[in-house]
Chains A and B, each alone.
Chain A
């Protein structure tokens, strides 16, 4: 990591000075390419908003208008449970206000999961990097093997286990299999903690702090950067998780947004689906992630380079 940043600084300067020597046509074409990529990336997001603000009747009459057609907040009103039925009085699953429940479930699911797995990974990473004990390397290499095993291999038996424990449709059932152990988080934090100077442990020990106090008063504060990065990434990944919640939840008291939104989509009538309402629901489902992006975007972009795993 430190290597990356230093070469990057060295690499940045001389290239900037040679820029004007490149043919301007190539640069223009390159900028056009970037423009097209950005347009393709961003347009669908705009299209959600445009459709969510349109009425279904106007959508079927005027599908090509780039601005909202038949401008209305009816879609949002319905998915948030404020309005019942659209202009023609037709009710759909979206009208129930269930989306707010899904939103609550996703928030609970992602927050609990993130707090638990980051805490457990931090303490484990500390034991693997700053403490000296027999069996350390053996257990760590066993943990690394888990990185290789694909999710599907453990998901069906985990479903059976959660079902046998009577935890289907509960938050513990949703969270438990992922909350305690994350090989990637442990690996990543350990790597960083190994780089902290050993003097800090000695200083803490001279001050009379045991290993556990030294973890909370010295190591965690010094590891705040990577912990924050992993917290953001874990929250995003959990918020977007679909397969596991689909297996263990089938009730709106625990279903997260991904499962709820998919069922809205799949239960929509094939003739004249409620696209306005569906897009309003999609926007509500994606909005928290867009907020995370606005607040932490720079951090996420910078972290992708060296985390390397989603």
Chain B
């Protein structure tokens, strides 16, 4: 892989010039070396900068503004202060969808991380085959829409192969996506199926950075596989595990495509996750003000969760670094 060939020390020499004192012959030579840099630099970052200002900063500011207004897209936004947030506090659907989202996040993160960790550790001990790791990430390459369509066929209560198998064993059919109790767990299962391999390969890469000598020494001391896993693998893997957890939480809090295609938020709001509710509020009820307010709340939650997780994982870093 060409990617792995990084010349040593290169990073240091390119970073240092900014700290050179602004006097003496050396700095003058530096400045002439950098002549034309500023013009070229502004030219080269211009597209990214415009994209950043117009499609990232401006909409974020504007979205925050919308959340304090009543805005039905056809007429101009009208400032109503905290009305949207007051409505949110008294909106049972909002609280319901928040609970549904958290239920989904807890299920898909715990099951997803456990299965991918186990898969990564086992693959790491058994084989270095890129083919097997490749097959495992296959679901990561297809869209959530495709994953949801396949699984709604396989989980179909009448003809789906999963239900045919369940009926053969237990004599009963199970309404996976069509029952309020099972809608969220089923959707979480589809999400785990889609992202498990990707996370496993990510953790696998982390495992490859742990020196084999450590296991060697532990084995000489008579440590069992389970003990080695608990006392070597888990502590040394903590930084990458923290990253995988954060990424999975962030993406599953914003789950939309799988839910929208597999259950449309139903039955009867059972799987109406937050992003689904925001989408409906904006595009079925055209209530952009309220939808923006809920987006802002989601943003605040994501920021808080990321911050807490970073703090927690950093607090534990001392035993790894």
Contacts and interface: CB of A to CB of B under 8 A. Distances in A.
Interface of A: 1-5, 7-8, 10-15, 18, 21-22, 26-27, 30-31, 33-34, 37-38, 40-42, 44-45, 47-48, 51, 59-60, 63-64, 119-121, 123-124, 126-134, 136-137, 139, 142-143, 146, 148-161, 163, 176-181, 183, 186, 192, 194-198, 202, 205, 210-212, 215, 224-226, 229, 236, 239-243, 247, 257-258, 261-262, 265-266, 275, 278-279, 282, 285-286, 289-290, 292-293, 297-306, 308-310
Nearest to B17: A132
A14 B141 contact: no
A156 B282 contact: yes
B153 A275 contact: yes
Q: Please name the 5 residue pairs, one residue from A and one from B, whose CB atoms are nearest each other, closest first.
A: A180-B51, A305-B205, A181-B51, A240-B143, A225-B2
Interface of B: 1-8, 10-11, 13-15, 17-18, 30, 33-34, 36-38, 40-45, 47-52, 54-56, 58-60, 62-63, 66, 73, 115, 118-119, 122-123, 125-128, 130, 132-146, 148-154, 156, 158-161, 164-165, 168, 193, 196-198, 201-202, 204-206, 208-213, 215-216, 219, 225, 243, 247, 250-251, 254, 256-257, 260-261, 264, 275, 278-279, 282-283, 288, 291-292, 295-296, 298-299, 302-303, 306
A139 B14 CA distance: 18
Given A120-B48, A131-B41, A156-B291, A45 B138 contact: yes
A11 B212 contact: yes
Given A152-B295, A211-B41, 18 more contacts: A1-B4, A2-B8, A5-B1, A7-B209, A7-B210, A11-B211, A14-B213, A37-B115, A63-B160, A123-B45, A136-B41, A152-B278, A194-B11, A195-B10, A197-B13, A210-B36, A304-B137, A310-B251
Contact of B56 (A47, A181, A285): A181
Nearest to B33: A205
A119 B11 CA distance: 23
Given A156-B295, A258-B257, A301-B134, A47 B51 contact: no
A293 B134 contact: yes
Contact of A158 (B4, B55, B206, B208): B55
Contacts of A196: 7, 10, 14
A211 B10 contact: no
Nearest to B9: A197
Interface SS of A by simple majority: helix
A153 B295 contact: yes
B126 A31 contact: yes
Contact of A177 (B55, B63, B133): B55
Contacts of A129: 14
Contacts, number: 366
A186 B18 CA distance: 20
Interface SS of B by simple majority: helix
A92 to B, nearest CB: 15
B150 A18 contact: no
A202 B219 CA distance: 52
A179 B193 contact: no
A152 B281 CA distance: 13
Contact of B136 (A12, A37, A154, A275): A37
A304 B18 contact: no
27 contacts: A26-B225, A30-B126, A37-B115, A38-B136, A41-B136, A41-B193, A42-B138, A51-B153, A63-B158, A63-B164, A123-B44, A127-B44, A132-B37, A143-B48, A146-B56, A149-B60, A157-B62, A177-B55, A180-B55, A196-B7, A196-B14, A202-B33, A226-B3, A247-B283, A279-B153, A293-B138, A300-B137
Contact of B208 (A4, A153, A297): A4
A155 B292 CA distance: 10
A242 B145 contact: yes
A240 B144 contact: yes
Given A11-B212, A18-B219, A127 B202 contact: no
Nearest to B208: A8
A107 B279 CA distance: 26
A130 B14 contact: yes
Given A15-B215, A40-B193, A225-B1, A258 B145 contact: yes
